[in-house]
Amino acid sequence: MIECTINGKSIKVEPGTTILQAATKNGIYIPNLCYDKRLRPYGGCRLCVVEVEGQKRLFAACSTPAEEGMAVLTETPKLAKARKMVLELLLVHHPLDCPVCDKAGECSLQDLAFKYGPSQSRFVGERKSDAERIDAPIVERNPNRCILCGKCVRVCHEHQGVGAINIIGRGFESKISPAFEETLDCEFCGQCIDVCPVGALGSKPYRFRSRVWFMDEHEIPCPYCGCGCTTNLSLREGRIIRARGKQGVGINDGDLCSRGRFGFDFIYSENRLTTPLLKRGESLEPATWEDALTFVAQKLDMIREQHGAGAIGALGAQRCTMEDNYMLQRFMREVVGTDNIDSAARFGYAKVQQAVEKAFGLDSLPIKWEAPLEADFLLVVDSDITSTLPVWGLNFITAKNEGATLVVADSKETKLARNSSRWLRTKPGTGIALLNGIMKVIVDEGLYSREKALSLPRFDSLLSSLKGYTLAEAAGITGLTEGEIVKVAKEYASAGKRCIAMTAGSSENTKSVNTYLAAANLVLLMGDDPETLQVPAEFSNTLGMWAADVRPLSGGKDAREMLYKQGSLKALYVMGEDPLASFQDVSAVEKTLKGLDLLIVQDITLTETAKLADVVLPSSSWAEKEGTFMSAAGAVRKVPKLISETGQSIPDWKIFRNLARLMNKDLGLKGLADIRGALTDRVAYGEKGEAKASFNPVAYEVMEQAGGEYPLLMVTSNILQHSGALSVLSRNLDTVVADAYLQISTADAEKYRIRDEGFVKIASRRGEAYLKAMVSDEVPEGTVFAPTHFTHAKINALTHPAADGGLPLVAVKIEAA
C-alpha cells in the first residue's frame, strides 16, 4: 500500500492506482468526461487535471498513478481556470439545443458548464454540415453534440470486442462514424449510448419520450438470459419507456446487451392476451374467468376419472417466476395427482444436470461469473457464449485483454472466436473428440494429477478408452491438425488456473450429455474443482424452475415422452411455453397436441400452441407481478411489480391457487408470502454434502451424417438480438433482426447458386422451410446455420430430439427458391 493525500485527506491505495481512482474510492469528486472504469485511461478531455504539490504543471488524474507522499489538490482557482478554458473550447461546436436534447437533465457537459463554464465564448466555430442520421435501426447520432471524448469508440473496441465505430478524420473534421460513414453494423447493445456524456448518441425508441425529472427509476432483474443482470427501468405515467445499466449495481455492473436494453417492450406487444378464451366450435372466443376456470376444472376431473391422473401432464416455464412454477407443480401433484411435469429445459439444462450428477455427484454445477477473470487459461467448446449469455461473455474478452489465454473451439466464427488468443475451427459437434484428444495427450505425457485421478472410481476405464484412441483419429474427426491438439493440451495442463466454458441452450444442436461428461472427465483428470467447468443455465429462471421441482420426480413422463409418444396423454397444461415454436420436430408435436382431449395454455400472448388450445388463460408478464428469479449462478432476485396488469391478466401462481380452490383442494398457500416460505429450502439449491465424483468415459458418435441427398450439416443456436421466442415480441429488437435467415459460406453459395439475401428452400429428412440467405464465411464450407427464434420460419420442422434430450446435428439440402 502507498499513502498520499488528496485535499488534505490522507488515504492508502494499492500501487498503480491512479489519482482519479484513489479519489473516487474515497468519495472525492474530480470532474471528467472521458473516464470509464471499464476502459483504459485515455486522458482526452483534460477536465480531470489536478495540482500536485511541488509540480508546476497540471496532471491528468485519470492517467497519473498515485505515489507515496504525493499531495494532490482537486479544486483550486488555477484548476477552475483550466477547466473553464477546456469547456469553452468544447462548446465551440456544441449547439445550445438542450431544450430538445434527450440528454438534458443528465448531461455531464451541461452540469460541468453550469459549474465551471463561461457565460460567453471567445471562440467561433462552424457546425458540422453532414446529416444527423446514420443507417442504424435503434441508435441515433448527432455529430454536432459530440465532444470527441472517445468513450463510445473505446467501449465498443475494448469492452465489447466489436469495433463498429471509430474516430475518423483529423482536427476539426474529426467525428465518430462507422466505416465509410454509412451503415452501423454492430450488435446494437447500446453501450455507446450509455457511456456518451452528452446527447451525441441516443436511443431512437426513447427519443423525445420524456425528461429525466418526469421519470421514476426502478431496478429489476432482466427477463431474458441466465446472467441475471440488473436493469434500471425508467417509467413515466406507469409505462416503461427506457432501460439502462447502472455501474456498481448487479453482476453486470452497468453492462447490458441489446435484449436487456431494448427488449423490454415485449410486454406491450399487440398480441397480448387481455381476457380468457374458450374454444367454441372452431374458434377461440372471449370468456369470463369464472367460465374458463370452471371449464378447466370440470374437464380435468372428467379425464382423471376416465383415464387416470397419469393421462394428464404439464409444462412449466423457464421465464416464469419461482412462485409461478412452484404453484404449477403443487397443483399438478396435489390436486391433479400426476408427476408428468417438465419443461423445455429437458432439451438444454437437463443435459448439464445429468452430467453434473453423474460426474461430480452434485445437485447443480457451481457457477461463478468471475470465473473467466480468475483463470489463466480459458477453453470454450462449441458454444457461442456472447449470444446466449452476452454479459457473461464480456468477462472472457476482458480476461483475454488482461493476459489470459482464450482458446475457442467452434465451427462458427463467433464473437469470442474473433477476440480469442487462438481459434480452433473444429467440425460441428465434435467437442467430445477434441476433449478426448486433449486428455489423450495429457495422459500420454503424464501431465495430469495421478494421485487424485487414481482416487476416483472408473479411472482405469478412462485410461482404457484413451489407450486405443489416437491423435490421428482425433484430428480426423475434428478437422484440426495433431499439432493443434497437442498445443492446446499442453497449454491447458500447464496453466495455473483453468476454466472450461460451454452453454446449454435448448436450441443448440452441437452438444449432448456426453459432451459435458467429456469436459467433466478433463476437470477430474487434472484434479480441479467442479467449478472449473462453467455451464450456466440458459434463461432468467431456468435454475429457479428446476429448484421448484418442475420436472419428473417419481417416475413421471418427461417432455419427450409427453410430446413425442402418441397417445401417452389425454390432457396437457402449458404455462409460459410454446412447444410449437421451441420444441423440435414440430410436425410430431403438432400431431400430439391435436390428439389431446384437453389442451390448456396459460401465457401472455396468443402463441402458436395457444391457437390449438381448448382454453387460453391470460397471465401477467414480468414487471406486472411480484416474484422471484434465480440466476444461473444461484442468486435469488426479487422481481417487483412495476406496472399494472394488461387487461384481465393475473399472475400465474394466482391462477393455480384459484383453480385448486375450485377443484375443492386448498394448497394452504394464500399468497406470495406463503409460497416464498415454502420455497425457502430450495433457495440453497445446489448445496450438498460430500460430493462423490467419478470418471465417465465417453466416445464420439456421429449424430447425423451429411452426404448423398442431404450433403450439408445444419447448426442451430441463439443469436445475440433474440432469446427464445419471447424477444420476437419486441418491436425494438424486431427492427434489428426481424426474421430468420440461413447463413451459408461463400463457397457453398457459389456451389448451389445462392445469392445473398435471396430466398432458399432448405429441407431435411423431416421437413422443409424457406429462409432468406446470408452469405458469410462465419460458417465453414459444408455447414449452414439457422437461428431458431422465429416461429413462422419453422426451423424446428427440420430438427428432432435425441434420446438424451439433446438435439443432434441435422443433414440438409438447399436450393434457390
Per the CB < 8 A criterion, the answer to whether 61 and 52 are in contact is no
pLDDT digits (tens, 9 = 90+) for 373-390: 999 999 999 999 999 999
CB neighbour class for 454 (10 Å; exposed up to 12, middle 13-18, buried from 19): exposed
Domain final position from 534, 567, 590: 534
Q: Which residues contact 751 (CB under 8 A, 6 or more apart)?
A: none
- 131 pLDDT higher than 90: no
CA distance 625 to 619: 10
The reply to whether 763 falls in a domain is yes
The reply to whether 356 falls in a domain is no
Instruction: With 0.85 as the threshold, say if the pTM is over it.
Output: yes
Return the CATH number at 43. Answer: 3.10.20.740
Nearest to 364 by CA among 717, 697, 678, 631: 631
pLDDT digits (tens, 9 = 90+) for 604-662: 999 999 999 999 999 999 999 999 999 999 999 999 999 999 999 999 999 999 999 99
Per the CB < 8 A criterion, the answer to whether 542 and 423 are in contact is no
Q: Which residues contact 628 (CB under 8 A, 6 or more apart)?
A: 321, 322, 323, 544, 636, 637, 638, 639, 676, 679
Domain final position from 35, 55, 75: 75
pLDDT digits (tens, 9 = 90+) for 179-192: 776 678 899 999 99
For residue 814, give the H/E element and its range: strand 810-816
Q: Going by DSSP bridges, is the β-strand pair 165-168/175-178 parallel, antiparallel, or unpaired?
A: antiparallel
Nearest to 123 by CA among 147, 88, 96: 88
The reply to whether 106 falls in a domain is no
The residues that bridge with 280 in the sheet, in sequence order, are 283
Return the CATH number at 599. Answer: 3.40.50.740
The residues that bridge with 573 in the sheet, in sequence order, are 314, 600
Residues 164 and 225 in one domain: yes
CA distance 669 to 515: 41
Domain final position from 38, 56, 75: 75
CB neighbour class for 490 (10 Å; exposed up to 12, middle 13-18, buried from 19): middle
b/e sequence 536-552, b meaning 16+ C-beta within 10 Å? bbbbbbbbbbbbbbbbb
Q: Which of the four pLDDT bands, split at 50, 70 and 90, describes residue 689?
A: very low
Overall number of domains in the chain: 5
pLDDT digits (tens, 9 = 90+) for 740-791: 999 999 999 999 999 999 999 999 999 999 999 999 999 999 999 999 888 8
Q: Going by DSSP bridges, is the β-strand pair 49-52/9-13 parallel, antiparallel, or unpaired?
A: unpaired
CB neighbour class for 667 (10 Å; exposed up to 12, middle 13-18, buried from 19): middle
Per the CB < 8 A criterion, the answer to whether 376 and 496 are in contact is yes
Strands ordered across the beta sheet of 230-236: 216-221, 230-236, 239-244
- 447 pLDDT higher than 50: yes
CA distance 30 to 47: 8
Q: Which of the four pLDDT bands, split at 50, 70 and 90, describes residue 496?
A: very high
- 478 pLDDT higher than 50: yes
CA distance 579 to 569: 15
pLDDT digits (tens, 9 = 90+) for 775-785: 999 999 999 99
Helix (H, G, I), strand (E, B) or coil at 714: strand
DSSP string, 327-343: HHHHIIIIII----EE-
CA distance 370 to 364: 18
The reply to whether 117 falls in a domain is no
The reply to whether 335 falls in a domain is yes
* Longest Cα–Cα distance in the chain: 93
**Arithmetic mean of pLDDT over the chain:** 93
Residues 18 and 147 in one domain: no
Residues 137 and 193 in one domain: yes
- 681 pLDDT higher than 50: yes
Q: Which of the four pLDDT bands, split at 50, 70 and 90, describes residue 129?
A: low
pLDDT of residue 147: 92
Return the CATH number at 459. Answer: 3.40.228.10
Q: Grid cell 410430446 — which residue?
A: 563
Residues 372 and 250 in one domain: no
Give the type of residue at 580. Answer: L
Cell (9 digits) for 269: 406487444
- 508 pLDDT higher than 90: no
Per the CB < 8 A criterion, the answer to whether 483 and 437 are in contact is no
Helix (H, G, I), strand (E, B) or coil at 4: strand
Q: Where are the strands (E) in 265-419, listed by range?
A: 277-280, 283-286, 312-315, 341-342, 377-381, 405-409
Residues 375 and 305 in one domain: no
Residues 657 and 592 in one domain: yes
Residues 498 and 604 in one domain: no
The reply to whether 741 falls in a domain is yes
Instruction: Measure CA of the first residue to CA of the last residue in the chain; give whole Å.
Output: 68
Residues 344 and 400 in one domain: no
**Percent residues over pLDDT 90 in the chain:** 84
Q: Which of the four pLDDT bands, split at 50, 70 and 90, describes residue 683?
A: low
The dihedral of CA 223, 227, 228, 229: what is its sign?
negative
CB neighbour class for 681 (10 Å; exposed up to 12, middle 13-18, buried from 19): exposed
Q: Which of the four pLDDT bands, split at 50, 70 and 90, describes residue 96?
A: confident
| pLDDT greater at residue 437 or residue 792 | 437
CA distance 211 to 780: 49
CA distance 379 to 635: 25
CA distance 501 to 547: 22
Task: Compute how many other C-beta atoms are within 10 angstroms of the C-beta atom of residue 286.
Answer: 13
Q: Which residues contact 121 (CB under 8 A, 6 or more apart)?
A: 88, 91, 92
Q: Which residues contact 291 (CB under 8 A, 6 or more apart)?
A: 276, 278
Summarize the confidence of residues 467-493 as an average pLDDT.
Answer: 97
Cell (9 digits) for 615: 382454453
Q: How far is CA 588 from CA 91, 565, 592, 801, 810, in A?
A: 65, 9, 6, 11, 16
For residue 745, what are the domain limits?
712-816
Q: What share of the chain is helix, strand, coil (3-state, %, to 5)?
A: 35, 20, 45
CA distance 194 to 253: 13
pLDDT digits (tens, 9 = 90+) for 541-599: 999 999 999 999 999 999 999 999 888 899 999 999 999 998 989 999 999 999 999 99
Q: Which residues contact 320 (CB under 8 A, 6 or more apart)?
A: 328, 541, 545, 575, 576, 619, 627, 652
Residues 172 and 223 in one domain: yes
- 134 pLDDT higher than 80: no
Residues 727 and 658 in one domain: no
Residues 53 and 158 in one domain: no
pLDDT of residue 576: 97
- 809 pLDDT higher than 70: yes
The reply to whether 103 falls in a domain is no
b/e sequence 571-588, b meaning 16+ C-beta within 10 Å? bbbbbbbbbbbbbbbbeb
CA distance 42 to 157: 13
CA distance 37 to 612: 52
Q: What is the DSSP letter of 426?
A: P
The reply to whether 684 falls in a domain is no
Return the CATH number at 163. Answer: 3.30.70.20
Return the CATH number at 772. Answer: 2.40.40.20
For residue 747, give the H/E element and its range: helix 746-751
- 132 pLDDT higher than 60: no
- 423 pLDDT higher than 60: yes
Cell (9 digits) for 491: 497449454
Residues 153 and 227 in one domain: yes
